[in-house]
Amino acid sequence: MSRVAGGAKLLAGSVVIASLLAGCSPAGEAEAGAAASRFQRSVAAADWASACGLLSERAGTDLESAAARPCPAALPALQLPTDDVGTVEVWGHNAKAMVGQEAVFLSLFSSGWRVIAAGCTPRGEDLPYQCAVGS
């Protein structure tokens, strides 16, 4: 093995180890961002059944319990933002996507990325966001 090849392998190995330690994954950002975009397109198109299908099971059932009606009937009243997805940040199996001034939180399930909270506005440093869905 040449010294250059050895150095490249060492560098590649270090990057892999650092990525594992840091839980970073560019593929994760693309996939989480795509899921957030699907959710935003569904909301913008008032396709509430599709939007509900992109919620996590817990987020959907919590919404239905709070609104006392099915998810597709409960979502319109929340007036979720219809902006395109901006920056996406992924850590491990969780992600946050900015949509305008609000945030959508997602988590990775066996069925793919699902929205665990939407319509989230910051409440100040060190405090959880206030979310319309999935608080």
Partner 1 sequence: MKRFVTDNGLSLFFVVILLLALAGQSVAGLAQLNSQQLADGLQTLTYAQYLTSSEFAVDVAENWQSEFLQFTLYILATVYLIQRGSSESKQPGRAGLESDEDQKVAEHAEADSPRWAKSRGWRLSVYSKSLTLVMAAIFALSWLAQSIAGRAAHNEQQLGQRQDPVGWVDYITSADFWSRTLQNWQSEFLAVAAMAVFAIYFRQRGSPESKPVGTAHASTGSEE
Query: Which amino acid belongs to residue 93?
Result: H
CB of 92 to partner 1, least distance (A): 3
Applying the rule CB under 8 A, the residues between 112 and 131 that interact with partner 1 are 116-117, 120, 122, 126-129, 131
Strand pairing class (102-109; 112-121):
antiparallel
Judged by CB under 8 A, does residue 107 bind partner 1?
yes
Those residues with Cβ within 8 angstroms of residue 121's Cβ, 6 or more apart along the chain or in another chain: 101, 102, 103, 129, 130, 131
Query: Candidates 33-41, 65-73, 76-84, 86-94 — which segment interacts with partner 1 by CB under 8 A?
Result: 86-94
Judged by CB under 8 A, does residue 78 bind partner 1?
no
Judged by CB under 8 A, does residue 109 bind partner 1?
yes
Residue 74: which H helix or E strand, with range? helix 71-74
Among candidate residues 13, 42, 37, the one with its CA nearest the CA of residue 98 = 37
Among 57, 66, 73, 79, binds partner 1 (CB under 8 A): 57
Assess contact for 126 and 58: CB atoms under 8 A: no
Q: Which residues bind partner 1 (CB under 8 A)?
A: 18, 20-24, 56-59, 89, 91-96, 105, 107-110, 116-117, 120, 122, 126-129, 131, 134-135
